[in-house]
A and B are shown apart, each in its own frame.
Chain A
């Protein structure tokens, strides 16, 4: 394989999307070509820089989407009595979009405002208090409620569907499935870095495969350095796991935070049994760091010590 052929295929190589023979050929070439090794490093760098561009989804947006969908589905189910071509025609032409529902809601609220003001003046509106809470029902607090659907109900009535955000409290042990799923979900999906740190901290002493995978993902991909450090601390309990060692080496070379890189080297080096020879892949990583422009004093000095010790014990 020539250098241009290797370099044009580096992205597919990193994605693991090349055929076995092509991958082998690239690896053989990389072993002896410093120029392509440099190209691979650059390729990894721009791949990593793209990860920082990922748009995160806020929980508020997700909750809004779920609310919109629930309303739309309710309306779809309400058309159940229609069937055949009429149903299809209506579902295509008049399926209520979020915008149309919003418009309808807004129109209703304007009308309700006028009507309400008139009724308030005449003292005919006993159910709604000044704070906007429907006291007689004792259920709704408008600060946490959102009108989702409005339908006429009889001649004078109206049926209003309201979504109300509800908090639930879940207590249990870490081996409880629900508790565990909630923590894993919070670790991966919460928009709040504080919640992610807490969930990692609570799970970091667990050794089950789902926790190990989630920690690995957080250590490599979380946007917040504190979460990545906590996840790394959790990974320290898997000393013989090759995938974790590879991830530690990657983080050591590519993470943008000096604190995370320092944590990674502290975890990676104790993985070697005292007095034993450092494995060749770790040694290569440390040598790469010493050759690179990385300025972390701590990481460089630890790498220097290990590389020097390995060279001193080398048998010629």
Chain B
């Protein structure tokens, strides 16, 4: 019994001894500046420009976000420099968005920086990444009069939403995953500043760790559809054959994709079958009055099928030329290959790839009128 009391007394005494251990003074919540958005710009081969946006909660401050900018060589060094400028301790716990300058990624520096963030235990894995056309610093410092706080704005902009279905919503984990996976190449959304608003203007396609070029929204949508995304953005289709121009819009699209490879490494052939179900919401063209019967709709669907197949084919040709694989088509061949697979084999496979695309559109309804 006595021993128990002694131990209890020791435990209670320990509680006070924790003050004796040499640890950093705990900074309470209100003195912590939590970085919401970080932007990295390219200056030259060795140094980069780091800009951070820290929201201000105090209702007395005039600005609701503090923006700091330093030039540095390492990201961590930059954080330390920023702390000298700010009155709070800067932490990356609530980091949400990382913006990378286009020049920066064209020089192939993205991987190092993102890897550093990945390694950092403070930063979560769901931090979104985007490439910006101009300088990230400018985007952060600009005033957006009818938009909320820049932190919320960028975060909400890059979140998955049905109308920006082409957006791959790359986060840190996805980026590292696609960078280190020999089968894939990374894609990152591309932002551009336009008259007081920020717009997602396509995606940036990487080859290895350098950005190769940017792709349009339609191409990006194809990537998403082939990767298996179920709900797609409204699709604008332009049928243009035999001098008949028809424009239409399919909405509320559900898509299902199946890809099968022919397990051959020498002449790889991929069978892609894509099923799209949608509602026809707007049509402008010749057949406008004649779309009430079932046969007419079928014909229209066939035409749409051909058009989409053409688009996808064209896109895959481009990929074949550039020898990049953002979709992961070569995964179907890796599955049946025994041995180590690396990037060169991906490039080879893509350059030899043949394909066979079947698209099946089905127009579910035409709105509330016939």
Asked if chains A and B come from one complex, the reply is no
